[in-house]
Amino acid sequence: MSYTIPKVQRAAVVAQTGQGVQVKEDFPVKQPEDLKPGECLIRLHCTGVCHTDLHAALGDWPVPPKVPLVGGHEGVGEVVAIGKGTVDSPVKLGDRVGIKWIAYSCLTCEQCRKGLEQNCSSVKLSGYTTDGTFQQYVQSWVNVVTPIPEGISSEAAASVLCAGVTVYRALKYSRTLPNDWTMGLRVIAIDGGEEKRKLCVEKLGADAWIDFTQTKDIVAEVKRITGGPGANAAVVTTASPSGYTQAVDYLREGGTLMAVGLPAKAELNASIFFTVFKDAVEAVNIAASGKVQVYYASKPLQELEGVYDDLGKGKIAGRIVLTM
């Protein structure tokens, strides 16, 4: 099996943070002969869009991204080249794979062996410290890409690779039990607007709903719903610092706060920026089994600027996936 790799491609590029995104048709493609052992080239079918990508484009996080930058970290595509000299590759040409937030780690250090790849001193972050998935071809590593199983579309898999993985990991490590009040167990969904209420309650089956645009005291409402003590765990996915301060107050004694969202100025004592390889495989496989319904809408890459605008205004319910 062989592929014809073009010299240039379409890509959404941030030349300088805070100055918008420009879609270019002549962005260079890394050629197969330039791949190092262990590297691979992916022809992307689609990519999700995340608030992290908006923060990278704005440059408003404490750690600045590289510039110029191709953002994106939720891509799904096909392996079209593997670096010469690569041995024991877990993927082959033609395999469908996913690109996630952690683009690379050494996989051999103490942190990687513990499953804490985000703490690896060699870690690279897709669409932040290395170019990501807002392009038609992306270079990655054979030991890091996530195999995508049959039974799930590329668009749905892309939607799982960040939001799905981070929430799955949060639930996995939240120390909650069946019938506890937490997301994924007995669910209280907190968001704003009728469209999001329909998504959370009617489609996803949340047990209770709180609209933060209409509820004056979210903490009191959570405690009322849970019968007084508060929630057993809170999975905070918002980029708003207030989401964290409220969660601390509505958790019951001994409750668990899982930090998933990435507000630029929230003060926490632990890093909240990362996910892990094994969790990505598990989350995608759960979605492919049909146990989780993925809700997304597709738009072309050229509309990324408008998607960022909608993200900033909180207008998007579910996920947006860009076609390449």
Q: For residues 296 and 318, is the Cβ–Cβ distance under 8 A?
A: yes
Above 50 in pLDDT, residue 97?
yes
* Residue 157 near residue 287 (C-beta atoms within 8 A): yes
| 268 confidence band (pLDDT: 50, 70, 90) | very low
pLDDT tens figures, 226-262:
988 899 888 888 877 888 888 888 988 878 888 777 6
Residue scoring higher pLDDT (5 or 294):
5
pLDDT of residue 161: 87
Domain 170-274 belongs in CATH node 3.50.50.60? no
Q: d(Cα 28, Cα 68) in Å, to the nearest integer?
A: 13
- Residue ranges, CATH 3.40.50.720, the chain: 170-274
The one-character DSSP state at 64 is P
Candidates 3.90.180.10, 2.40.10.220, 3.40.50.300, 3.40.50.11690; CATH matching 8-161: 3.90.180.10
Domain span(s) for CATH 3.90.180.10 in the chain: 8-161
Residue 183 confidence class, pLDDT cut points 50, 70, 90: very low
pLDDT band at 169 (very low <50, low <70, confident <90, very high): confident
Where is mean pLDDT largest: 171-175, 191-195, 318-322?
191-195
d(CA 315, CA 192): 9
Contacts of residue 202, defined as CB under 8 A and 6 or more positions apart, other chains included, come to none
